[in-house]
Structure 1
Amino acid sequence: MLDDTDRRILEVLLKDSRISLKDLAGQIGLSSPSISERVRRLEERGVIRAFTVEIDPKALGYQLQAIVRIRPLPGKLHIVRKLIEEIPEFCECDKVTGDDCYVARLHLRSIDQLDPVLDRIADHAETNTSIIKSRPIERRPPPLQRE
């Protein structure tokens, strides 16, 4: 479980994961060695998995995003998974319950790119695609407050 200090550390790191340990310690009110140890323990426990860079797909020319529900044809589950892994436009994929086996997110430069990407799995799966118009809520962590 997280204590209040761990939660405060995570809140600060979520705003700026590049903050120095000295500045983090100053914001939390602990010494740099104490903060360093706390961050190390959060990493060891798997609470913090990575310090990463968030890239804006639009800055790289990917103007369109789509959500694709994928239902592999009988006996094709592993083939479809391998194809999804190999197609770089698929940036996320979740295996889900229900009628579909996978829900994936695509980044595309234009709508013209959609059919050629989906055609690569069409012999092995049925797809249902929704174009993303906006993201009212950006990806965010689960609530950090106490249970």
Structure 2
Amino acid sequence: MRIDRLDADLIELLTDSPMLPVMECARRLGVARGTVSSRLARLHEAGVIRGIIPRIEPAGFGYTLVAFCQVEIIQRDGHVRVSSALEDTIPEIVDMYTVTGSSDLQLRVVARTANDLQDIFDRINRVPGVARTSSSFALHEHFQGRTLPLVNACANSAASLDKTVQND
């Protein structure tokens, strides 16, 4: 899907204020309410926007430690079974990916204290199908969920392409 400048501006507006009413978005963008509604529908249908929800910050309720855990699984147990078990039993896992390389799963976990983090790692290791784990601590978060620069780059690329086509 091509993202133009209006799409990018709408996405940025909703990223900053997820609960902003459609009418207010239209006012700020200088377009009709119907334009915003149709753009939102198109962005949702294309999977560009998956939902409009507030961003939850675990640090805001005491989960200030962030760690990454690499999980090697017992292959016969499979990724789906192990990842489902981890998801169902360990709420402190906030992100999980199947990855290539020396491990099979990459987890981002949050904890309140180092002791809590040790408990989380112990619980991960007890999940059936987990062969071994390794971990590292995040010392500083530089950014997370950084998608607006990509959205803007796509919009700028689309605008450049449109200018090139018009000049030909």
TM-score of the superposed pair, with normalisation by structure 2: 0.78
Q: Which runs of 5+ in 1 are unaligned?
A: none
Residue 150 (structure 2) aligned to one of 132, 143, 146:
143
**Matched-pair contact (CA < 8 Å) for 2:110–2:117:** no
Deviation (angstroms), 1:88 = 0.9
Pick 1 or 2: higher relative contact order, CA cutoff 8 A, min separation 6: 2
- Flag the structure with higher helix content: 2
Deviation (angstroms), 1:51 = 0.5
**Residue in structure 2 matched with residue 130 of structure 1 by the alignment:** 136
After TM superposition, what 4+ stretches of structure 1 lie above 3 angstroms from structure 2?
76-79
Map 1:37-48; keep pairs closer than 5 Å. 37-48=38-49
Counterparts of 1:74 and 1:41, CA distance in 2: 40
**Matched-pair contact (CA < 8 Å) for 2:66–2:111:** yes
Tell me the amino acid that sits aligned with residue 61 of structure 1.
G
**Residue in structure 1 matched with residue 87 of structure 2 by the alignment:** 85
Counterparts of 2:92 and 2:11, CA distance in 1: 31
Counterparts of 1:65 and 1:10, CA distance in 2: 28
The alignment-based identity, stated in percent, is: 28
**Residue in structure 2 matched with residue 31 of structure 1 by the alignment:** 32
Deviation (angstroms), 1:114 = 2.2
Residue 118 (structure 1) aligned to one of 103, 116, 121:
121
Q: CA RMSD in A?
A: 1.8
The reply on whether 1:5 has 2:6 as its aligned counterpart is yes
